Structure 1
Amino acid sequence: MSASQPKSRVGLTVLALSLGTSLNPLNSSMIAVALVVLRGDFGLDVGTVTWVVTSFYLASAAGQPLMGRLADRFGPRRLFMLGMVIVALSCALAPLATNFLLVCLARALMAIGTATAFPSAVVMVRALSAVAKVSSTRPLSRIQMANTVGAALGPVVGGLLISVAGWQWLFLINVPLALISLLGVKFFAPADPPREQGSLGSLLKASDLPGIAAFTLTLVLLIMGLLDALPGYRGWLLGLAPLAAALFAWRELAVQRPFLDLRLLSRNRPLLLIYLAFLVFNGVYYVGFFGLPQLLEQSAGYPSNVVGLLMLPLAAISVVATPLAARAIDRFGVRSMLITGVLVLLLGVALLWLLTVSYAPPLVLLLTAALGLPFAAVNIAASQGMYASTPAKDSGVAAGILQTCRYIGAIAATVMIGVFYAPGVNQQQWSQLVLAIAGLAVLALVITLFWRPGRAETRSKL
């Protein structure tokens, strides 16, 4: 796209990208109010039903860095459109699933499709900001706001869909959204610059497939071990995960064009701390996000559509707070916003303990509003810190790894929920769960306090 083209095309491109990137967080959160319904429809226990969440996060965690690397090397526009096609097809077929395994497989395929969106959008941000002659903060904050709003609106949208039409519509709603996003990017996004050339075989050979495989294997072994996916083999899975990680590290240090440049990453302390803080933050946040709806449905007895409405303040606060957080970053910096967000998270966790006393709707509304503030602040601050701390050529894979940190944190949250809710979903188990995540919130605060902006971030005035 040349500089002479109207800025309206840039705005339409950002809108299409925002819609596409919102599908991943939207689908990761809509499912929160469907767990009880799925348990009833398929006759599942608490531990088993969480696989509909875990399958999505597992595929996303492994897929995001890979999609980011592919966007960096082969072009973000074509990868984004391919992902939207995958989303539309998988979601059109998912309602035909006759058992829970097929539902989980459909969720995994949908996750792979949506995993293309955020890394591709981040790669395109530099070109879009140059055309619009604005700081990259503006288009990036709009895309991140769509992610935040998508995740926040998920329980509301999911609750309404389930109460009116059934869980199948959690898939079907994605079909028109993916197609609209695809068409918007096709007609308004800038063409991909010249990237890799050559035969498919040579491109695959240069893509470090062994490194990608070792990275994916490490995640699969670790997550399946944490979830005790193969009873009786947890020790083996957790024991093999470090070996796979060592194999991955050896491979990446041995090749000239690694999937993930570990040497560069080891020298980038600000980026490493951003990733770690974001992972722990999401572990805390998603315990509340997924654990609270189950508590309200099974212990308090609220129907799913009412639970969706009770989660509405989270969406409303996130919508309002995200643009305000973006402006605050421009004025006060990323570090101040990160610290503020984690402090508010710690306060929100403390307030969650009040549910051991009462399920009164005004109290629940207050608590969901309290969860919306840190979600908006930390999401936008972590994205800005990651973007500014990363070389332009690695923007896609860096964005993918940031999203992987989100999913690993969310998977850890589902593991904790499964463990603490195993004896029963009640106020006593909730109080123990809240105490556990309070400790993690303190850890997130400590990591954030150690973080300092790097030189790249200073140049970007973040």
Structure 2
Amino acid sequence: MAPLVASALLNPINSTLIAVALIPIGHSLGASPAETAWLISALYLATAIGQPLMGLLVDRFGPRRVLLVGAGIVVLAGAGGLLALSLEWLVGVRALLGIGTCAAFPAAMTILRYRAEDAATEVPRRSLATLAIAAQTTMAIGPAFGGVLIMLFGWPSIFAVNVPLGVVAIVLALRWLPKDDRTANRTPLTKVDLGGILLFSLAMFAVLLFVMDPAPRSAYLLLIGIVVGGAFILVELRVRTPFVDLRTLRANRPILRTYLRQALAFLIIYAIMFGYVQWLEQGRGLSESVAGILLLPMSGMAIGTAALAARGRGVRAKLLVSGIVLGAGAGMLLFTHTASPLLLLLGIALVFGIAQGLTSVTNQTVLQAQAPTEQLGTLSGLFRSAQYVGAIGASTLIAFAYGAEASSAGLHQLAWLLIGASALLVLVIALDRSLSRKTLTGHTKRAAAAA
């Protein structure tokens, strides 16, 4: 588990360190909040596209190889961030970090499935919980850690920290991960669906650019995304070894609903992670380090709830509680203002810590039950893509609500948007019959029998 955890930390640490650096980067480079929001979107745009690609490479060439390549990319990107030539340069660095960090999750999910099959058992929920707890803890302490780094070394340090972290992940993987000795699913590079990969990337890029700026002047991007997406569907239904097996997805509608739940939940979580921190710094007038420390309670709460989520078999109740808590936390934002007591600000962090811990472990457990082994890497990648589509949507909501400044009025507008998203999430969960214990057990048995 050590190399899997070390690699899995790379994405959440890069997701959250940037939260407390947006304001100082904007001041240093003369950029507005709407412009620095690209530092958030670039990583998630690259990750949303790169996750299924890395998942495909895991399925074809083995999880250990792909994990090592991804960690190497992270080291190079971290070194590049030290140059800080311009905002555009940093956006490119963030995109490269997104590509590198998205290798860990599909590789980890595949390795855990392989080990479970070798032992003729299910994937231990404790292993899934360990990955989720590590990621959630990193997300929670990331802003505080970032605040300390900025205070001691300046904001370029949030990029430089990737160099030692990436090196540690590489060393642990070389030392303890088993070599890729499974060749049943390995396909020569000449047989990889490069056309499908290109069409998927272009369609996602166009649609996500529109989502980040949903104005009439950007409508052409949505049209391009729809046209290219249609071509992608036609290609994938015809090729023998598709990049995304649409036939399997069409027959496995429960997994599509899992993707939707993940996207909605993390739209809310990331909107709080970034939007709330920006308001603490600008609207409430706190320093970067203090704003980060105020989010520390999320860490302890996320650890506790993730550990609890790993126990027991029922998932629907846990997901419902998570959706309701997200709505309650968004509602608490309506009562914040420039003189809000620290106790209220800490309480908001605690509430969202509960939702973070429940969401990740439970949805990952459902994914393991719903995904066939031979496509687990690709389907895990799409699962993370759904999460980062939610993150990009969050940055869009933040830019829409705040405009040029993270004011209290903007925070309240953001809160109403998140309350609506929470209500939709609860409705999706309540109507999904595939979340029953009997149905999920059936999925797991069919996957084991196929393996």
- Bin for the TM-score computed over the shorter chain: over 0.9
- Aligned counterpart, 1:225: 210
Matched, 1:298 2:282: yes
1:9 corresponds to: none
Q: Distance in 2 between matches of 1:50 and 1:154?
A: 18
Instruction: Report the equivalent of 1:381.
Output: 362
Given candidates 229, 233, 241, the residue that maps to 1:245 is: 229
Task: Please give the alpha-carbon distance, in whole angstroms, between the structure 1 residues aligned to 2:174 and 2:160.
Answer: 22
Partner in structure 2 of residue 172 of structure 1: 160
Alignment of 1:324-339 (within 5 A): 324-327=308-311, 331-339=312-320
Confirm or deny that 1:349 pairs with 2:342. Answer: no
Q: 1:292 to 1:41 in 2, by over 3 A?
A: same
Residues 1:204 and 2:200 aligned together:
no
1:192 corresponds to which of 174, 177, 180:
180
CA distance in 2, matches of 1:358, 1:38: 26
**What are the within-5 Å matches in structure 2 for residues 75-86 of structure 1?**
75-86=62-73
Select the residue among 402, 406, 412 that pairs with 2:393.
412
Matches within 5 A, 1:89-108: 89-108=76-95
Give the secondary-structure state (helix, strand or coil) at the position aligned to 1:254. coil
With 266-275 and 126-135 compared, the bigger mean Cα shift is at: 126-135
Query: Deviation string for 1:198-245 (max 9, x for gaps)?
Result: 9xxx8333111111111111111011122239x884021112111111
| Offset, 1:358 | 4.2
Question: What is the match of residue 19 of structure 2?
Answer: 32
1:126 aligns with 2:113: yes
CA contact (8 A) 2:33 2:404 kept: no
CA distance in 1, matches of 2:141, 2:250: 37
Matched, 1:370 2:357: no
| CA distance in structure 2 between the partners assigned to 1:422 and 1:370 by the alignment | 26
Matches within 5 A, 1:142-161: 142-161=130-149
Task: Report the 3-state secondary structure (helix = DSSP H, G, I; strand = E; otherwise coil) of the residue aligned with 1:96.
Answer: coil
Looking at structure 2, the residues matched to 218 and 291 of structure 1 have their Cα atoms a distance apart, in angstroms, of 27
Q: 1:197 to 1:132 in 2, by over 3 A?
A: closer
C-alpha spacing 1:132/1:155, structure 2 compared with 1 (3 Å): farther
Aligned partner of 1:453 in structure 2 is 435
Asked if 1:272 is matched to 2:259, the reply is no
CA RMSD of aligned residues (A): 2.0
CA contact (8 A) 1:212 1:259 kept: yes
How many residue pairs get aligned? The number is 441
TM-score (norm 2): 0.93
Alignment partners' CA distance in 2, 1:171 and 1:339: 37
Q: C-alpha separation between the residues in 2 aligned to 1:133 and 1:362? A: 49
Task: Supply the AA of the counterpart residue of 2:330.
Answer: V
Write the letter of the residue equivalent to 2:177: A
1:85-125 residue CA offsets vs partner (Å, 9 max, x unmatched): 11112112211131111111111111111111111111100
The letter for the 2-side match of 1:250 is L
Partner of residue 424, structure 1: 405
Shift of 1:332: 3.9
DSSP 3-state at the match of 2:286? coil
Contact 1:284 / 1:413 at 8 angstroms: preserved in 2? yes
Distance verdict in 2 for CA 1:332–1:175, change over 3 Å: same
Give the letter for the 2:435 counterpart: P
Which amino acid is 1:453 matched to?
L
In structure 2, C-alpha distance between the alignment counterparts of 1:399 and 1:456, rounded to whole Å: 20
Query: What are the Cα deviations for residues 10-44 of structure 1, in whole angstroms up to 9, with x where unaligned?
Result: xxxx1111111111011111111111011101000
Q: Does 1:56 align with 2:43?
A: yes
Q: 2: CA distance between counterparts of 1:390 and 1:134?
A: 16
1:374 offset after TM fit, Å?
Answer: 0.5
Alpha-carbon offset, residue 442 of structure 1:
0.2
What amino acid does structure 1 have at the position aligned with 2:35? Answer: T
Give 1:133 deviation, angstroms: 7.4
Report the Cα distance in structure 2 between the residues aligned to 1:417 and 1:392, rounded to whole angstroms: 38
Letter in structure 1 aligned against 2:86:
N
1:165 partner letter: F
- Aligned mates of 1:458, 1:212 — CA distance in 2: 33
Asked if 2 retains the 8 angstrom alpha-carbon contact of 1:218 and 1:242, the reply is yes
* 2:448 matched residue in structure 1: none
1:130 Cα offset (Å): 5.0
Q: How does 1:313-324 map to 2 (within 5 A)?
A: 313-324=297-308
Match of 1:6 in 2: none
Q: Is the 8 A contact 2:34 2:404 kept in 1?
A: no
**2:201 alignment partner AA:** T
CA distance in 2, matches of 1:296, 1:44: 19
Q: Quick check: 1:271–1:386 contact (8 Å CA) kept in 2?
A: yes
CA distance in 2, matches of 1:158, 1:437: 25
Contact 2:60 2:185 in 1 (8 A): no
Q: Does 1:138 align with 2:123?
A: no
Of the candidates 48, 54, 58, which is equivalent to residue 71 of structure 1? 58
Contact 2:213 2:396 in 1 (8 A): no
Q: How far 1:54 moved relative to its partner? A: 0.7
Tell me by how many angstroms 1:440 deviates: 0.8
Contact 1:18 1:143 in 2 (8 A): yes
Aligned to 2:449: none
Q: Does 1:436 align with 2:417?
A: yes
CA distance in 2, matches of 1:163, 1:325: 36
Q: Which runs of 5+ in 1 are unaligned?
A: 1-13
